[in-house]
Amino acid sequence: MKNMTRLRLLALLALLSTLNLRLSTVSAQNTVVTYQGRVQSGGSDFNGSGQFKFALVTSSNANSQATATATVSGGFVTIYIVTFGGSGYVTAPTVTISGGGGSGATATASITGGVVTQITAATPGSGYTGVPTVTISAPPENLSYATYWSNDGTSGAGSEPAAAVSVPVSNGLFTVRLGDPALANMTALGAGLFTQSDLKLRIWFNDGVNGFAVLHPAQPLTAAPYALVAGTVSQLSGPYGNAVAFDNPANSFRGSGAGLTALDASQLSQGTVPAERLPGNLVRTNQVWLLGGNSGTRAGTHFLGTTDDEPLEFKVNGLRALRLENNGDSADFDTTPDGAPNVIGGSPWNFVSAGVVGATIGGGGATNYYSGGYTNSALSDFAVVGGGLHNNIGSSSTAATIAGGQYHSIGTDSEASVIGGGSMNDIEPNSISATIAGGQRNDIRNNSDKATIGGGENNTIVDNSHHSAIGGGAGNTIVGNAAYATIPGGVNNNATNYAFAAGSYARALHTGAFVWSDGAGTVTTSAAANSVTMRGRGGFRFLTGSGSGGAQLAAGDTSWSVLSDRNVKKDFAPVDSQAILEKLAALPITQWHYQWEEPGVTPHIGPMAQDFKAAFYPGSDDKRITTQEADGVALAAIQALNQKLDEQHAELKAKDARIAALEQAVAELKAALQHPAK
């Protein structure tokens, strides 16, 4: 907001709900939530008539915060491992190291494509007796909203409503009755609104000078009204008449209809249900009393059974809600239409949504109340939840499966996708035939068809990465809308289209790149598309047979060595180095290009393999020349040249001696001629 140095929402001070109940239906009408907050303008508490706009929304943040762990050695923080790279970073985030008993450790972060790829120790600190906590600052928020209510009904996707509500503000404090139609530009709140999880209140404020500005952050609004509003259920109807369900701490029941104990209206109107509402008007509570037949209270259970042999069913809005069999020992929630072939076992908190056909939540039975898991839901045709805790298959995910485990989710439109087990694994919407076999906190994100994570922890396949796979490990990420990328395991590896990354801190960030990085914690990054990059601080060794044959690149070396140990050789024979020199002198050496090389590249110089092999290795493969073969010929030729040089040197020495003798004789003759004897 222009010229407004401070405009903020300080706290949610009170949330109250009022409910209107009708005896015949026990349904909520015109729910009102009293909200109190505080606003400031120009650094001071606002006073006067403020203009406000309100919307109840849910939000999702497309960006995520990175995480990392530290390794302590000798009291120093020496290595950092990025366990989850996050997303949406535009600048390198701040890294904070806290706890662990020491002090002074600092580190810096590096990002690639919005993902934190490396944490580098700047100073190791000292005195660390335990592992410190590593905190990476969050990226900028990238929020998207869905609107469920606004004061004038005009807001969409979290947008600002058109009309404002006038609210008096005194010393910065204001109180408003959300959903009270008596206020101008205020629409009613439906009771079912608070069944939506993670509901937040967005507020826009105008101080009369600077125009409307949205207050940050949006305030969670679900908790307080939820318990009251959610437990208001629609009429339940059974084969013996009508009934109501509500908390009954006195271990007695109330109801009306054929075969039920009749109560007067005053008794009936006192009941409420502290319950959670599920999709399709399903209700779950800690204590629900259902009425039917000639049943009474059943000690030790949450349900009233029936003394009749035939099942007793209750319905919610025409759908079967609860079916009690065998005196109430077995129960399931099922909001499918009568006759739909769905199976639910185990806890009555398991849920299959209305209209779904062929869905299954496994388990069940009279001996174990939770034998089919707890609070599992299957919202798609032919979906299966084998058991476990808090597992969910979203709508339009036909034939999706969660075998077990806890807190798993398969999003909407992810048909034939599978989560095998583990904890907190997610397959996000529109990921067809995706698979997470197990592990913890693994995530296959939107539109990643046929992607696979085998296990491990905090592994992520990003949006639109079809046919990509992570075998296991921790903190590995398929990045950049990557198709057919592979990370077999390891720690903190990244791969993109058709690329392969393995080990630790391998970064295959070019299409088709292959990167393997050792366990030293150093980032190893691909250099070009379709390239191979490896880091091995202990060197590389390639064996080509059952023995020691092969080649080696020793630690720190920049060239290959071949095995030449006398102890692994046999059949020694002398070499005619002069003959080799003569053949080498006669060998054609030309300048040329390979056929696949583009015009203008630097030419090569060397012999043809056919000529080389015919001269020195007849009968062997004449398409290639090994460095060992070329080196042997070159060394023999050098020896022959050296022998020739030695011979020439001896000849020159003899000539020098003869020349010296001749020069001596000439000198003596000249002296005799100049001084003849007398």
Angle between helices 609-616 and 577-586 (to 10 degrees): 160
pLDDT band at 305 (very low <50, low <70, confident <90, very high): very low
- Asked whether residue 275 falls in the same domain as residue 384, the answer is no
Which of 165-179, 328-342, 365-379, 620-634 is predicted with the least confidence, judged by mean pLDDT? 328-342
- Asked whether residue 523 falls in the same domain as residue 558, the answer is no
Across 104-121, average pLDDT: 89
User: How do residues 6-15 score in pLDDT, each as one tens digit?
Assistant: 333 332 222 2
pLDDT at 232: 28
Number of domains in the chain: 7
- Asked whether residue 557 falls in the same domain as residue 591, the answer is no
| Cα 88 from chain centroid (whole Å) | 13
Which of 338-352, 486-500, 649-663 is predicted with the least confidence, judged by mean pLDDT? 338-352
- Asked whether residue 238 falls in the same domain as residue 198, the answer is no
pLDDT at 624: 92
- Asked whether residue 58 falls in the same domain as residue 159, the answer is yes
pLDDT band at 51 (very low <50, low <70, confident <90, very high): very high
Across 632-642, average pLDDT: 93
- Asked whether residue 23 falls in the same domain as residue 157, the answer is yes
Cβ(87)–Cβ(63) below 8 Å: yes
Cα 158 from Cα 204, distance rounded (Å) = 11
pLDDT at 279: 35
- Name the residue with higher pLDDT: 611 or 521: 611
Cβ(328)–Cβ(301) below 8 Å: yes
pLDDT band at 191 (very low <50, low <70, confident <90, very high): low
Cα separation values, 332 from 255, 307, 320, 371, Å: 22, 18, 10, 12
Highest mean pLDDT among 322-336, 366-380, 628-642: 628-642
What is the SS3 assignment for 120-140? EEEEEEECCCCCCEEEECCCC
Q: Supply 379's token pair.
A: 């919202």
Domain boundary pick from 110, 136, 162: 136
Whether the bond into 239 is cis, omega within 30 of 0: no
What is the SS3 assignment for 127-195? CCCCCCEEEECCCCCCEEEEEEEECCCCCCCCCCCCCCEEEEEECCEEEEEECCCCCCCCCCECHHHHH
Cα 378 from Cα 308, distance rounded (Å) = 30
pLDDT at 11: 27
> Strand, coil or helix: what is 38?
strand
- Asked whether residue 218 falls in the same domain as residue 309, the answer is no
Cα separation values, 17 from 32, 222, 283, 285, Å: 5, 11, 19, 19
Nearest to 378 by CA among 278, 511, 292: 278
Cα 426 from Cα 418, distance rounded (Å) = 10
Whether residue 30 is predicted with pLDDT greater than 70 in this model: the reply is: no
pLDDT at 285: 32
In a domain, 85, yes or no: yes
pLDDT band at 576 (very low <50, low <70, confident <90, very high): very high
In a domain, 445, yes or no: no
In a domain, 443, yes or no: no
pLDDT at 353: 58
> Strand, coil or helix: what is 338?
coil
End-to-end CA gap in the chain: 132
Cβ(199)–Cβ(146) below 8 Å: no
Q: What's the DSSP call for residue 302?
A: S
Whether residue 227 is predicted with pLDDT greater than 80 in this model: the reply is: no
Nearest to 435 by CA among 406, 471, 407: 471
- Asked whether residue 55 falls in the same domain as residue 30, the answer is yes
Across 540-552, average pLDDT: 87
User: How do residues 323-348 score in pLDDT, each as one tens digit?
Assistant: 333 233 333 333 333 333 444 554 44
Residues in the chain: 678
Across 475-483, average pLDDT: 88
Whether residue 270 is predicted with pLDDT greater than 80 in this model: the reply is: no
- Asked whether residue 113 falls in the same domain as residue 221, the answer is no
Q: Supply 433's token pair.
A: 């035939």
Whether residue 122 is predicted with pLDDT greater than 80 in this model: the reply is: yes
Phi and psi at residue 662, to the nearest 5°: -65, -45
Whether residue 611 is predicted with pLDDT greater than 50 in this model: the reply is: yes
- Asked whether residue 524 falls in the same domain as residue 663, the answer is no
Across 625-645, average pLDDT: 92
pLDDT band at 373 (very low <50, low <70, confident <90, very high): low
Whether residue 306 is predicted with pLDDT greater than 90 in this model: the reply is: no
- Asked whether residue 611 falls in the same domain as residue 675, the answer is yes
In a domain, 436, yes or no: no
Cα 230 from Cα 670, distance rounded (Å) = 135
In a domain, 477, yes or no: yes
- Asked whether residue 90 falls in the same domain as residue 156, the answer is no
Domain boundary pick from 380, 400, 421: 421
Sign of the dihedral defined by the CA atoms of residues 163, 167, 172, 174, in that order: negative
Q: Which domain holds residue 649?
A: 575-678
Beta-bridge partners for 146: 58
Q: What's the DSSP call for residue 610?
A: H
Cα 223 from Cα 14, distance rounded (Å) = 11
pLDDT at 549: 85
- Name the residue with higher pLDDT: 357 or 601: 601
Whether residue 286 is predicted with pLDDT greater than 90 in this model: the reply is: no
Which of 259-263, 334-338, 357-361, 377-381 is predicted with the least confidence, judged by mean pLDDT? 259-263
In a domain, 7, yes or no: no
Cβ(26)–Cβ(191) below 8 Å: no
pLDDT band at 31 (very low <50, low <70, confident <90, very high): low
pLDDT at 356: 66
In a domain, 610, yes or no: yes
Question: Which residue in this structure is represented by tokens 């009474």?
Answer: 296
Cα 476 from Cα 176, distance rounded (Å) = 48
Chain-wide mean pLDDT for the chain? Answer: 75
Domain boundary pick from 304, 326, 348: 326
Percent of the chain with pLDDT over 90: 41
In a domain, 370, yes or no: yes
